[in-house]
Chains A and B, each alone.
Chain A
Amino acid sequence: MSHIKIKQLTYRFPDQSIGLDDISISLGKGEFVVIAGPNGSGKTTLCRHLNGLIPVKKNCISINGLKLPEDVGKIRQLVGMVFQNTDHQLVGQTVYDEVAFGPENLKLSRKEIDQRVVQSLRTVGLMEYQGRSPYTLSGGEKRKLAIAGVLAMNSKILVFDEPFSNLDYLGTKMVLDQILKLHQAGHTIVIVTHELEKIIAYADRLIVLEKGKIVMDDQPSVIIHEVEQFGIREPYSSKTGQGLVKWLN
C-alpha cells in the first residue's frame, strides 16, 4: 500500500505561471526518494504541498490514508519538513525551546514534551547544547536541530528541501549521516535537491522534474546517465564508469 499518493496535482502561481503540471506519484513506506531538477522546476513547490503549506484541491494528495485539505493538521504532524534555509525555521530562543515548539503546538503535556525533546536531541546528538541559542550553532548543527524539531513531533515522513545547501564538508557529512540513520530507523525520506553527488547512491528512487512535470521516475542506476539533459549534473563516479559511489565512504 502506498504511503504517499499524489494524483494529478497541478498548481499555478498567482501570476498564472506553471508551478506543477499534472503530477502523479506513489511513494511506499520507508522509501528513500530523491526529487531532483534545476532551479524553478517545481521541487520546493511539490514538497510544500506534501506538508499542506500550499492549498490543494480535494483528493489530489493522500498520506497514510489521510487526505488534504481535510486532515491538514494530522498530515503536518506526520510529514516533517526541514526547510532549505534553517534560520527561517528557527522559532525558539534556545535549542530546547526550538525542539519543544512542535510538541507544544500538539497540546501535549509538559512531561511528554520534555521526554520528546530529550529523545530528539539525543537522536541528533545535540543534547549538550539544549540551553544555547540556536543562532550560535554551526550550519550543520542548525540543520540537525531542525531535524530534531520535526522528530519531536513523531513525524514518520521527513522531507528535506536542499539539505546540503550552504554547508561545509563537515556539516554535509554530519547531516547526511543523520539522514541515513533516520532512514535505517524506518522513516520515509524525501530529499529535494539539484545536486545528486552526495545523496543519490543511498536512494531507492530518483524522480526528475522539469518545468513542473515529472520527466523521469526510476531507480537511480537506471536513469542516472540521462539526467544531464534536464540540467542536473551526473555524479562524477557515474560519469567515469565507477557506478554510484557512496559519498560517506
Chain B
Amino acid sequence: MAELTAFNYFSGDSWLHRLDIRFKLVIIFTFNMISIQAGYFELVMISLPVFIVIFQLKLPLRHSLYETRYFLYFLLFIFLSRTIKIDTAKPTYLNYSYPDMIESSIICWRLFLILLIGLAFMFSSKITEIRAAVQWYLKLIPFVPEKKISLMIGLMIRFVPDILQQAADISEVQKARCIGRRKNPVYRITVFSTPLFIRIFGQADNIVHAMLSRCFSENRTDIELKSDKVDWMVLIITLSYLSITIVVNILF
C-alpha cells in the first residue's frame, strides 16, 4: 500500500496542521454550512481562502482530483442534467438556457468546494485527533457514549483508505484479465463486489487481531488537546470574515 489515497493524512507544519482540531472542526463545519446555501458572491469569498489554504498545505491537487474523479464525473452529470433540457418542438431537440447554466454551475461549485474543504481537512488532521475532538464535543451531551462513538468514527475513517486500496487492487487485477471485454454491467459489478467484500471483511479481521494483540480497549490514554491564543485568533478571524461576507451579500 505504498500509494496513498486522497483522504490520507500527510504530516506537515502548516498552520492548519498546527491548529487545534476542535477549532478546525468548527471552522470546517461553518464553511460547509455556508457553502451549501451560498450564492455567487459568497462562493467567491469562500473559495478564496480555501484555495490559499490548499496552496499553503502543498496538497497534491492534481493527484487528489484524479483520485476523486468519479465525484467530478458526478458533478458534470449534475451540471448537464440541470442545464440541458429536451424540447421536442425545436429541431435540435436539446435546449439550454443561461439562467439554468448559472444555477447548475453554482450547485456544482458548492459541492466542489465541500470536496476541497474535506480534502484539506483530511490532509491536515490525524484520525486520533479527529476522534479525540469528536469525543470532546460528545462529552458535552449527557447520556451519549462518547468513547464508543468516537472509536467507531475513528475506525471508519481508518478503514476508508484501505477499502479504496482494495478496490483499486481488484480493479487492476480484473483489468489485467480483460474484464473490459465483458459488457454486462451486472456481471461486472458482481465479480468486482464479491472479492471486494471478502477482502474488506478479511482486512477488518486482521486489523482487529492487530489491535487486540496490542491490548486495545476503549479505556486508553487519549491524546491531549491543547489550544492557545493563535487558535482563538484564527477562529475569530475566520468567523468574522464569513459573517462580513454574509452581511455584505445581504446588504448589496
> What residues make up the interface of A, taking CB atoms closer than 8 Å to B?
48, 51, 53, 73, 76-77, 81, 83, 85, 87-94, 97, 101-110, 113, 131-133, 135-136, 149-150, 153
The answer to the question of B239 belonging to the interface, with a C-beta cut-off of 8 Å to chain A, is no
User: Quick check: A102 and B128 within 8 Å, CB to CB?
Assistant: no
The residue on A at minimum CB distance from B5 is A135
User: Quick check: B128 and A109 within 8 Å, CB to CB?
Assistant: no
The answer to the question of B213 belonging to the interface, with a C-beta cut-off of 8 Å to chain A, is yes
The 10 closest A-B pairs by CB, nearest first: A88-B206, A131-B11, A102-B214, A105-B215, A89-B210, A104-B221, A93-B9, A81-B213, A104-B220, A105-B220
Q: Please name all residues of chain A whose beta carbon is closer than 8 Å to the beta carbon of B209 when the two chains form the complex.
A: 48, 53, 83, 88
Q: Please name all residues of chain A whose beta carbon is closer than 8 Å to the beta carbon of B173 when the two chains form the complex.
A: none
Of the candidates A85, A101, A103, A131, the one having the most CB atoms from chain B within 10 angstroms of its own CB is A101
User: Quick check: B221 and A109 within 8 Å, CB to CB?
Assistant: yes
Q: Please name all residues of chain A whose beta carbon is closer than 8 Å to the beta carbon of B75 when the two chains form the complex.
A: none
Question: Which residues in chain B, 144-202, are within 8 Å of chain A measured between CB atoms?
Answer: 158
Also in contact, A108 and B221, with CB within 8 A (given A91-B158, A92-B128, A135-B2): yes
The residue on B at minimum CB distance from A137 is B2
20 new A-B contacts at CB < 8 Å, known A135-B1, A136-B2: A53-B209, A83-B210, A88-B203, A88-B206, A91-B158, A93-B126, A93-B128, A102-B215, A107-B219, A108-B221, A110-B224, A132-B11, A133-B8, A133-B10, A133-B11, A135-B2, A135-B4, A149-B214, A153-B214, A153-B215
In whole angstroms, what is the CA distance A85 to B205 when docked?
Answer: 13
Also in contact, A91 and B207, with CB within 8 A (given A135-B1, A135-B2): yes
The answer to the question of B43 belonging to the interface, with a C-beta cut-off of 8 Å to chain A, is no
The answer to the question of B94 belonging to the interface, with a C-beta cut-off of 8 Å to chain A, is no
User: Quick check: A105 and B126 within 8 Å, CB to CB?
Assistant: no
The residue on A at minimum CB distance from B222 is A104
> Distance in Å from the Cβ of A46 to the closest Cβ of chain B?
14
Q: Please name all residues of chain B whose beta carbon is closer than 8 Å to the beta carbon of A101 when the two chains form the complex.
A: 211, 214, 216
The residue on B at minimum CB distance from A85 is B206
In whole angstroms, what is the CA distance A108 to B212 when docked?
Answer: 17
> Distance in Å from the Cβ of B208 to the closest Cβ of chain A?
9
> Distance in Å from the Cβ of B39 to the closest Cβ of chain A?
37
The answer to the question of B234 belonging to the interface, with a C-beta cut-off of 8 Å to chain A, is no
Q: Please name all residues of chain A whose beta carbon is closer than 8 Å to the beta carbon of B81 when the two chains form the complex.
A: none
List 13 contacting pairs A-B, 8 Å CB cutoff, sorted by A: A51-B213, A76-B212, A83-B209, A89-B210, A90-B210, A94-B9, A97-B126, A104-B220, A108-B221, A110-B224, A113-B221, A131-B11, A133-B10
Q: Please name all residues of chain B whose beta carbon is closer than 8 Å to the beta carbon of A76 when the two chains form the complex.
A: 212-215
Q: Please name all residues of chain A whose beta carbon is closer than 8 Å to the beta carbon of B215 when the two chains form the complex.
A: 73, 76-77, 102, 105-106, 153
Q: Please name all residues of chain A whose beta carbon is closer than 8 Å to the beta carbon of B4 when the two chains form the complex.
A: 133, 135-136
Also in contact, A103 and B221, with CB within 8 A (given A97-B128, A131-B11): yes
Q: Please name all residues of chain B whose beta carbon is closer than 8 Å to the beta carbon of A77 when the two chains form the complex.
A: 215
Q: Please name all residues of chain B whose beta carbon is closer than 8 Å to the beta carbon of A153 when the two chains form the complex.
A: 214-215
The answer to the question of B235 belonging to the interface, with a C-beta cut-off of 8 Å to chain A, is no
The residue on B at minimum CB distance from A96 is B11
Q: Please name all residues of chain B whose beta carbon is closer than 8 Å to the beta carbon of A150 when the two chains form the complex.
A: 214
Picked from A88, A103, A108, A113, the residue with its CB within 8 Å of the CB of B207 is: A88
In whole angstroms, what is the CA distance A107 to B217 when docked?
Answer: 9
Q: Please name all residues of chain B whose beta carbon is closer than 8 Å to the beta carbon of A110 when the two chains form the complex.
A: 221, 224
> Distance in Å from the Cβ of B57 to the closest Cβ of chain A?
15
In whole angstroms, what is the CA distance A104 to B126 when docked?
Answer: 16
User: Quick check: A91 and B211 within 8 Å, CB to CB?
Assistant: yes
Q: Please name all residues of chain B whose beta carbon is closer than 8 Å to the beta carbon of A149 when the two chains form the complex.
A: 214
> Distance in Å from the Cβ of B216 to the closest Cβ of chain A?
5
> Distance in Å from the Cβ of A141 to the closest Cβ of chain B?
12
